[in-house]
Each structure stands twice: as C-alpha cells, then as structure tokens.
C-alpha cells in the first residue's frame, strides 16, 4: 500500500476516535466474524428477544433504525464507523447468558454487569473506564380501597443505565417504570436528544424523580386519612395502630429508594466528566433540587407519623384513665350500701335500732342520701 494510502487510513482511524475506539471496532469485527449476530431472538417476550425491549440508533437526535433479528452488531458498527450518533438498547430483567454477548460488544465491566443482572442495588453512579454506570430506584404507588395493617403502599424496582460515548444501555427490573413513553418524548425533541447519551441519562433521572413526587403526593393522602382518624371525635372509628405502623414501614421503603440518590445526582451535577455534556450537566442540578424536595417531604411524613402514633397512644391512655375513674367512682358509691349491709349482717342480738319499727326505712334513707351525695360529687368533678 502506498504512503498516501497509509496516511488516509490513519486519518480515518483518527476520525473514528482514540485508541479505545479502534479496539472497539476490532472487537466488533471479531464478533462479526465469529458470531455474525448477537442472538436476541426469543418469541416469548418481544420481537427482539427474551429481554430486549427496544434497540434504536439515533443520529443528530433523529431516530434511524430499529435493530431486528439480532443485527445489534451491525448497528454498533455503523455508529462507530460514522463517528456520530449512538445506540440505545433497552433490556428488561436479562439473564447472565443473555448479557454475555452485549457485555463483550460494549466492553462493559464485569462488576457493573453483575449489578445489572442481579439488581437489588443502592442508587449510585460509578465510572468504569470509558463507561458510566448509574443505578436508580424506581417507585410506584399501589392503589388500595382501604389502608390496612398489611396493605402494600409503595412498590420499588430498579433501572440501571450504562452510558458510553456512542451507546446507552438501560436495564429495567420490576413491573413498572417503563421507558417507552420517555423514549417517545425524547424523540419528539431532537435538539435535546442530539446532546448524546447523557441526554438519555438525564431524562431517566428526571422521570424517576418525578415519579417520586407523584408517589409522595399519594402517600400524603394516606397520612392525612390516618391523622383524621386519630383526631376524630369521641365515638368515631378509632385508628388502628397496625395501619399506622404499616404506613411507616412503607414510608421507610420509599426513603431507602429516594435518599441515597442524592449523592449520585450531586456528582452528575457538579463533577465534570466527558460522558456528560456540559449542557446536560446543568439540568442535573434541577433534578437534584426536585429530589431534595422529595427528601424533605419524606422526612416530614416520618416525623408526622411519629407524632400521630404518639397521639394515638396518648388518646388510648386518656380513654383508659377515664374508664378507670368511672369504675372507681361507681365502686365508691356501691361501697356505701355494702358497708351498711355488712354491719347489720353480723347477726348480733344487741345492735342499735335492730328492733325499731322505722329502722329499715332509716337505714335505706341513709344509704340513698350517702350514695346520692357521692354521685353528685363525682359528677361535679367529671368522674361520671
């Protein structure tokens, strides 16, 4: 090959990217030779495979093609050769076997792959080489006709996001948190999607935090309902402490999903990285502000539920004290005839007024007068 040909080849490689991109192209080429396609075919879940929900290529914010019948390798090759655009691959609860080819194709770190497959991770943002790995906890409110001591109020799931220079891989766990509507919204705003994979990362974070806000509004209705029952007038249906405790447990689950996300969002908003466009980084600060609002609401709900539980226990204690005072008052009133009858039941022959004609009437009058006096006294003092 001539010197000019070699120079053109070198310039072409530079246009593709740095040495890592060259290795990526070589890896794609090897995969193309050894395994012509990543096997995604499985009729049980979707046209693309058992775990693949959608695979789309974007250039300048415009949707180009949809990978079908396992042509993911070809889509990646075209994006990297053209040195523009990115591939968005969406997965739902993939298995380790399903992730092997994808991890090799995109050079994903084994630790991140393990977290994405097995889930149950804390919200976090980690960088593995040229790939950014983010974990978000998704939440949804479980509708219920009536809150009981066993009601499920909050259901959680997870979304893992791999962000590279030319790809986004989303891995969703759980029955909710579908990214289909989000994908359609982004495709309707090509200018934002043209910012690259970091725009998708921001959109996912924004949707997750917006769901937090919606869930907290619904939880507030349950808190208000319990609060109304606790402070309801006497005679109304009293609150069940089991319902208050269950609501507090569900609030704790929501807190575990929301609070740990604060630090990752601060990193995305304040720490510059080549994988997040500067224009997008400013938007993460807005998401962080919304998250702080949710965190404050959850803390307020927690304190309010503690106060509600204490108020409920205080009302129970007050009711018990009132019952004990009534019982004590009636016991004191009944003690008067019991004492008199006990004295005259001793069966002595020589007792005052024992043989008197009006003795019975006098004793009954004394008993009635004493009982009435005690009753008036207890009534005046609020015991009866």
* Mean pLDDT score, 176-193: 88
Helices (H), 166-261: 180-187, 190-193, 197-230, 241-258
pLDDT in tens, 16-35: 333 333 334 333 333 343 33
Please check whether residue 158 is in contact with residue 119, taking contact to mean a CB–CB distance below 8 angstroms. Answer: yes
Other beta carbons within 10 Å of 62: 12
Q: What local confidence, expressed as pLDDT, does residue 265 receive?
A: 92
Tell me if 351 is assigned to some domain: yes
Tell me if 373 is assigned to some domain: yes
Strand blocks (E) in the chain: 52-59, 62-66, 86-92, 124-128, 131-141, 154-163, 167-173
Q: What local confidence, expressed as pLDDT, does residue 69 receive?
A: 41
pTM beyond cutoff 0.75:
no
Q: What local confidence, expressed as pLDDT, does residue 234 receive?
A: 61
Which structural domain range is residue 360 located in? 322-380
Res. 256 pLDDT band, cuts 50 70 90: very high
Please check whether residue 128 is in contact with residue 109, taking contact to mean a CB–CB distance below 8 angstroms. Answer: yes
Residue 316 to residue 314: CA distance in whole angstroms: 5
Residue 12 to residue 234: CA distance in whole angstroms: 83
Distances (CA, A) of 313 to 100, 239, 245, 316: 56, 10, 12, 5
Q: Residue 268 above 50 pLDDT?
A: yes
Higher model confidence: residue 64 or residue 284? 284
φ, ψ dihedrals at 107, nearest 5°: 55, 55
Residue 131 to residue 137: CA distance in whole angstroms: 20
Q: Residue 215 above 90 pLDDT?
A: yes
Q: What is the CATH number of the domain that holds 352?
A: 1.20.58
Q: What local confidence, expressed as pLDDT, does residue 239 receive?
A: 67
pLDDT in tens, 217-226: 999 998 988 8
Tell me if 363 is assigned to some domain: yes
Higher model confidence: residue 44 or residue 197? 197
Tell me if 345 is assigned to some domain: yes
Q: What local confidence, expressed as pLDDT, does residue 238 receive?
A: 61
pLDDT in tens, 306-344: 888 888 888 878 777 888 888 888 888 888 888 888 877
> How many domains does one find in the chain?
1
Tell me if 73 is assigned to some domain: no
């Amino acid at each position: 090959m001539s010197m000019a040909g070699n120079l053109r080849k070198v310039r072409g490689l530079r246009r593709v990217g740095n040495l890592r991109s060259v290795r990526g192209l070589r890896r794609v080429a090897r995969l193309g030779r050894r395994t012509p396609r990543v096997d995604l075919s499985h009729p049980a879940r979707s046209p693309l495979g058992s775990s693949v929900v959608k695979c789309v290529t974007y250039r300048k914010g415009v949707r180009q093609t949809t990978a079908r019948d396992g042509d993911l390798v070809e889509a990646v090759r075209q994006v990297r050769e053209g040195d523009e655009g990115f591939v968005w691959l969406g997965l739902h609860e993939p298995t380790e076997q399903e992730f092997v080819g994808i991890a090799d194709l995109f050079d994903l770190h084994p630790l991140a792959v393990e977290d994405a497959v097995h889930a149950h991770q804390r919200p976090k943002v980690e960088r593995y080489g040229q790939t950014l790995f983010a974990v978000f906890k998704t939440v949804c409110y479980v509708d219920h006709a009536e809150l009981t001591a066993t009601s499920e109020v909050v259901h959680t799931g997870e979304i893992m996001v791999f962000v590279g220079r030319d790809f986004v891989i989303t891995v969703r766990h759980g029955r909710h948190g579908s990214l289909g509507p989000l994908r359609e919204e982004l495709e309707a705003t090509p200018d934002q999607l043209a910012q690259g994979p970091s725009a998708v990362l921001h959109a996912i974070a924004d949707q997750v935090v917006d769901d937090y806000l919606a869930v907290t509004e619904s939880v507030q209705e349950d808190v208000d309902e319990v609060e109304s029952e606790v402070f309801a007038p006497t005679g109304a249906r009293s609150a069940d402490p089991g319902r208050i405790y269950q609501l507090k447990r569900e609030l704790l689950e929501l807190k575990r999903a929301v609070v740990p996300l604060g630090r990752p969002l601060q990193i995305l908003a304040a720490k510059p990285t080549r994988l997040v466009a500067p224009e997008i980084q400013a938007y993460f600060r807005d998401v962080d502000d919304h998250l702080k609002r949710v965190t404050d609401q959850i803390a307020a709900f927690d304190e309010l539920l503690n106060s509600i539980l204490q108020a409920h226990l205080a009302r129970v204690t007050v009711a018990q004290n009132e019952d004990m005072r009534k019982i004590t008052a009636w016991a004191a009133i009944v003690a008067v005839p019991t004492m008199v009858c006990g004295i005259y039941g001793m069966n002595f022959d020589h007792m005052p007024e024992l043989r008197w004609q009006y003795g019975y009437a006098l004793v009954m009058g004394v008993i009635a007068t004493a009982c009435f006096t005690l009753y008036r006294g207890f009534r005046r003092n609020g015991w009866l």
